[in-house]
Structure 1
Amino acid sequence: MVDLLITLTQHEADANNVTIAFTMGNEALAKGYSAEIVLLSNAVALAQQHYDDKIDIGTPFKPLNELLPAFIQAGGKLKVCKACMIHNGVKEEDLIPESIIITAPDVIDLLMESKKSLQLN
Protein backbone atom coordinates (compact mmCIF):
# COMPACT_ATOMS: atom_id res chain seq x y z
CA MET A 1 0.00 0.00 0.00
CA VAL A 2 1.42 3.34 -1.04
CA ASP A 3 1.09 6.39 1.18
CA LEU A 4 0.63 8.94 -1.63
CA LEU A 5 -0.55 8.11 -5.12
CA ILE A 6 -0.30 10.96 -7.61
CA THR A 7 -2.15 10.66 -10.91
CA LEU A 8 -1.08 12.93 -13.72
CA THR A 9 -2.61 13.36 -17.17
CA GLN A 10 -0.59 16.26 -18.60
CA HIS A 11 2.75 16.72 -20.34
CA GLU A 12 4.51 19.93 -21.43
CA ALA A 13 1.17 21.47 -22.41
CA ASP A 14 0.56 21.91 -18.67
CA ALA A 15 4.08 22.15 -17.31
CA ASN A 16 2.80 23.62 -14.04
CA ASN A 17 0.85 20.48 -13.08
CA VAL A 18 3.72 18.24 -14.17
CA THR A 19 6.13 20.18 -11.98
CA ILE A 20 3.73 20.20 -9.03
CA ALA A 21 3.21 16.42 -9.29
CA PHE A 22 6.91 15.64 -9.10
CA THR A 23 7.57 18.33 -6.49
CA MET A 24 4.88 16.88 -4.21
CA GLY A 25 6.12 13.35 -4.84
CA ASN A 26 9.61 14.36 -3.79
CA GLU A 27 8.29 16.18 -0.73
CA ALA A 28 6.34 13.09 0.35
CA LEU A 29 9.45 10.93 0.00
CA ALA A 30 11.53 13.47 1.94
CA LYS A 31 9.01 13.27 4.79
CA GLY A 32 9.36 9.50 4.89
CA TYR A 33 6.18 8.57 3.04
CA SER A 34 6.05 6.23 0.07
CA ALA A 35 4.98 7.82 -3.20
CA GLU A 36 4.04 6.69 -6.68
CA ILE A 37 3.19 8.74 -9.75
CA VAL A 38 0.85 7.23 -12.34
CA LEU A 39 1.11 8.70 -15.82
CA LEU A 40 -2.17 8.61 -17.73
CA SER A 41 -3.35 10.13 -21.02
CA ASN A 42 -0.83 12.64 -22.43
CA ALA A 43 1.40 12.30 -19.36
CA VAL A 44 2.80 8.97 -20.60
CA ALA A 45 5.15 11.07 -22.75
CA LEU A 46 6.95 12.12 -19.57
CA ALA A 47 8.38 8.63 -19.10
CA GLN A 48 10.31 8.86 -22.38
CA GLN A 49 14.06 9.26 -22.18
CA HIS A 50 15.16 12.93 -22.25
CA TYR A 51 11.56 14.21 -22.35
CA ASP A 52 12.13 15.76 -18.93
CA ASP A 53 14.48 18.29 -20.53
CA LYS A 54 11.41 20.05 -22.01
CA ILE A 55 9.91 21.20 -18.70
CA ASP A 56 11.23 24.00 -16.51
CA ILE A 57 8.67 26.50 -15.19
CA GLY A 58 11.25 28.50 -13.27
CA THR A 59 11.72 29.60 -9.69
CA PRO A 60 10.95 28.56 -7.07
CA PHE A 61 10.51 25.17 -8.74
CA LYS A 62 13.25 22.86 -9.99
CA PRO A 63 13.25 21.70 -13.62
CA LEU A 64 11.78 18.28 -14.34
CA ASN A 65 15.18 16.91 -15.37
CA GLU A 66 16.15 17.31 -11.68
CA LEU A 67 12.79 16.40 -10.12
CA LEU A 68 12.19 13.15 -12.00
CA PRO A 69 15.58 11.52 -11.31
CA ALA A 70 15.43 12.68 -7.67
CA PHE A 71 11.99 11.09 -7.32
CA ILE A 72 13.23 7.74 -8.59
CA GLN A 73 16.50 7.85 -6.63
CA ALA A 74 14.56 8.53 -3.42
CA GLY A 75 12.44 5.41 -3.95
CA GLY A 76 9.46 6.84 -5.82
CA LYS A 77 7.78 4.61 -8.38
CA LEU A 78 6.86 5.85 -11.86
CA LYS A 79 3.97 3.89 -13.36
CA VAL A 80 2.84 4.28 -16.96
CA CYS A 81 -0.54 3.33 -18.45
CA LYS A 82 -0.06 0.81 -21.27
CA ALA A 83 -3.27 1.68 -23.14
CA CYS A 84 -2.37 5.38 -22.96
CA MET A 85 1.07 4.58 -24.36
CA ILE A 86 -0.45 2.76 -27.30
CA HIS A 87 -2.98 5.55 -27.91
CA ASN A 88 -0.28 8.25 -27.78
CA GLY A 89 2.34 6.36 -29.81
CA VAL A 90 4.80 6.02 -26.93
CA LYS A 91 6.99 2.94 -27.35
CA GLU A 92 8.22 0.81 -24.47
CA GLU A 93 11.81 0.93 -25.74
CA ASP A 94 11.75 4.75 -25.48
CA LEU A 95 10.89 4.78 -21.76
CA ILE A 96 13.36 5.43 -18.98
CA PRO A 97 14.41 2.08 -17.48
CA GLU A 98 12.70 2.75 -14.15
CA SER A 99 9.25 2.99 -15.74
CA ILE A 100 6.71 0.40 -14.66
CA ILE A 101 4.04 -0.31 -17.27
CA ILE A 102 0.59 -0.92 -15.82
CA THR A 103 -2.96 -1.52 -17.05
CA ALA A 104 -6.33 0.03 -16.23
CA PRO A 105 -7.17 -2.61 -13.59
CA ASP A 106 -3.81 -1.82 -11.93
CA VAL A 107 -4.75 1.88 -11.79
CA ILE A 108 -8.04 1.04 -10.07
CA ASP A 109 -6.27 -1.15 -7.52
CA LEU A 110 -3.68 1.54 -6.83
CA LEU A 111 -6.37 4.18 -6.29
CA MET A 112 -8.46 1.96 -4.03
CA GLU A 113 -5.50 0.78 -1.96
CA SER A 114 -3.52 4.01 -1.54
CA LYS A 115 -3.74 5.89 1.72
CA LYS A 116 -4.08 9.28 -0.01
CA SER A 117 -4.19 10.48 -3.60
CA LEU A 118 -3.46 13.68 -5.46
CA GLN A 119 -4.90 14.08 -8.93
CA LEU A 120 -3.40 16.59 -11.32
CA ASN A 121 -5.34 16.76 -14.58
Structure 2
Amino acid sequence: MNYADLLITLTAHESDENNVTIAFTMGSKALEKGHTVEILLLSNAVHLAEKNYADKIDIGAPFKPIKDLLPTYMEQGGKLKVCSACMEHNGVSKENIVDGAEVISADYVIDALMNSKKSLQLN
Protein backbone atom coordinates (compact mmCIF):
# COMPACT_ATOMS: atom_id res chain seq x y z
CA MET A 1 0.00 0.00 0.00
CA ASN A 2 1.19 3.52 -0.78
CA TYR A 3 1.01 6.01 2.05
CA ALA A 4 1.01 9.79 1.77
CA ASP A 5 3.99 12.08 1.92
CA LEU A 6 1.96 14.20 4.35
CA LEU A 7 -0.74 12.80 6.62
CA ILE A 8 -2.92 15.41 8.34
CA THR A 9 -5.09 14.22 11.20
CA LEU A 10 -7.97 16.46 12.15
CA THR A 11 -10.41 16.08 15.05
CA ALA A 12 -11.98 19.55 14.97
CA HIS A 13 -15.06 20.73 13.17
CA GLU A 14 -16.91 24.03 13.59
CA SER A 15 -15.75 24.05 17.24
CA ASP A 16 -12.24 24.98 16.02
CA GLU A 17 -12.58 26.62 12.64
CA ASN A 18 -8.93 27.71 12.70
CA ASN A 19 -7.60 24.14 12.76
CA VAL A 20 -10.04 23.06 10.06
CA THR A 21 -8.87 25.91 7.85
CA ILE A 22 -5.20 25.22 8.56
CA ALA A 23 -5.62 21.53 7.66
CA PHE A 24 -7.07 22.21 4.22
CA THR A 25 -4.78 25.19 3.55
CA MET A 26 -1.62 23.23 4.37
CA GLY A 27 -2.91 20.16 2.53
CA SER A 28 -3.46 22.20 -0.62
CA LYS A 29 -0.07 23.89 -0.28
CA ALA A 30 1.67 20.50 0.00
CA LEU A 31 -0.18 19.29 -3.10
CA GLU A 32 0.94 22.40 -4.99
CA LYS A 33 4.52 21.49 -4.07
CA GLY A 34 4.09 18.02 -5.56
CA HIS A 35 3.55 15.97 -2.38
CA THR A 36 0.83 13.39 -1.84
CA VAL A 37 -1.55 14.29 0.97
CA GLU A 38 -4.24 12.59 3.02
CA ILE A 39 -6.46 14.30 5.55
CA LEU A 40 -7.89 11.90 8.12
CA LEU A 41 -11.12 13.07 9.71
CA LEU A 42 -11.46 11.67 13.21
CA SER A 43 -13.78 12.37 16.16
CA ASN A 44 -16.00 15.42 15.51
CA ALA A 45 -14.17 16.21 12.27
CA VAL A 46 -16.15 13.49 10.45
CA HIS A 47 -18.94 16.06 10.12
CA LEU A 48 -16.72 17.94 7.65
CA ALA A 49 -17.24 15.08 5.19
CA GLU A 50 -21.00 15.65 5.19
CA LYS A 51 -22.29 17.39 2.07
CA ASN A 52 -22.55 21.17 2.62
CA TYR A 53 -21.54 20.95 6.31
CA ALA A 54 -18.23 22.78 5.87
CA ASP A 55 -19.79 25.59 3.82
CA LYS A 56 -20.36 27.62 7.00
CA ILE A 57 -16.66 27.67 8.00
CA ASP A 58 -14.90 30.87 6.99
CA ILE A 59 -12.35 32.46 9.35
CA GLY A 60 -11.65 35.34 6.98
CA ALA A 61 -8.62 36.75 5.24
CA PRO A 62 -6.00 35.82 4.43
CA PHE A 63 -7.59 32.35 4.45
CA LYS A 64 -10.16 31.04 1.99
CA PRO A 65 -13.49 29.61 3.19
CA ILE A 66 -13.76 25.83 3.47
CA LYS A 67 -16.45 25.78 0.76
CA ASP A 68 -13.60 26.79 -1.61
CA LEU A 69 -10.70 24.95 0.06
CA LEU A 70 -12.30 21.50 0.29
CA PRO A 71 -13.20 21.08 -3.41
CA THR A 72 -9.87 22.59 -4.47
CA TYR A 73 -8.01 20.16 -2.20
CA MET A 74 -9.89 17.22 -3.72
CA GLU A 75 -9.42 18.46 -7.31
CA GLN A 76 -5.67 18.76 -6.70
CA GLY A 77 -5.58 15.05 -5.84
CA GLY A 78 -5.82 15.31 -2.06
CA LYS A 79 -7.36 12.31 -0.33
CA LEU A 80 -10.06 12.68 2.31
CA LYS A 81 -10.36 9.69 4.65
CA VAL A 82 -13.17 9.40 7.20
CA CYS A 83 -13.13 7.16 10.29
CA SER A 84 -16.04 4.69 10.14
CA ALA A 85 -16.37 4.27 13.91
CA CYS A 86 -16.32 8.06 14.38
CA MET A 87 -19.00 8.38 11.70
CA GLU A 88 -21.22 5.87 13.47
CA HIS A 89 -20.65 7.54 16.85
CA ASN A 90 -21.48 11.00 15.44
CA GLY A 91 -24.46 9.95 13.33
CA VAL A 92 -22.84 10.61 9.95
CA SER A 93 -24.13 8.35 7.19
CA LYS A 94 -22.00 7.10 4.34
CA GLU A 95 -24.75 8.14 1.92
CA ASN A 96 -24.37 11.80 2.92
CA ILE A 97 -20.62 12.30 2.57
CA VAL A 98 -18.91 14.29 -0.17
CA ASP A 99 -17.95 12.58 -3.40
CA GLY A 100 -14.42 11.24 -3.31
CA ALA A 101 -14.24 10.79 0.47
CA GLU A 102 -13.22 7.30 1.59
CA VAL A 103 -14.48 5.59 4.74
CA ILE A 104 -11.63 3.91 6.61
CA SER A 105 -11.11 1.80 9.74
CA ALA A 106 -8.98 2.27 12.85
CA ASP A 107 -6.50 -0.22 11.37
CA TYR A 108 -5.98 2.11 8.41
CA VAL A 109 -5.48 5.11 10.72
CA ILE A 110 -2.69 3.32 12.61
CA ASP A 111 -1.03 2.05 9.43
CA ALA A 112 -1.16 5.51 7.84
CA LEU A 113 0.29 7.17 10.94
CA MET A 114 3.13 4.67 11.11
CA ASN A 115 3.95 4.67 7.40
CA SER A 116 3.40 8.18 6.05
CA LYS A 117 6.55 10.24 5.58
CA LYS A 118 5.40 13.18 7.74
CA SER A 119 2.33 14.06 9.77
CA LEU A 120 0.57 17.18 10.94
CA GLN A 121 -1.84 16.68 13.80
CA LEU A 122 -4.52 19.30 14.37
CA ASN A 123 -6.49 18.31 17.44
TM-score between the two structures when normalised by the length of structure 2: 0.97
Name the CA distance, whole Å, in 1 between partners of 2:7 and 2:81.
10
Name the CA distance, whole Å, in 2 between partners of 1:51 and 1:68.
11
Aligned residue number for residue 13 of structure 1: 15
RMSD over aligned CA atoms reads 0.5
TM-score between the two structures when normalised by the length of structure 1: 0.99
Name the CA distance, whole Å, in 2 between partners of 1:54 and 1:36.
22
Structure 2: which 5+ residue stretches go unaligned?
none
- How far apart are 1:52 and its partner, in Å? 1.7
Name the CA distance, whole Å, in 2 between partners of 1:119 and 1:47.
18
Aligned residue number for residue 26 of structure 1: 28
Tell me the number of residue pairs that the alignment of Structure 1 and Structure 2 aligns.
Answer: 121
The amino acid across from 1:99 in the alignment is: A
Q: Deviations over 1:38-93 (max 9, x none)?
A: 00000000000011211000000000001000000000000000000000000111
Aligned residue number for residue 98 of structure 1: 100
Structure 1: which 5+ residue stretches go unaligned?
none
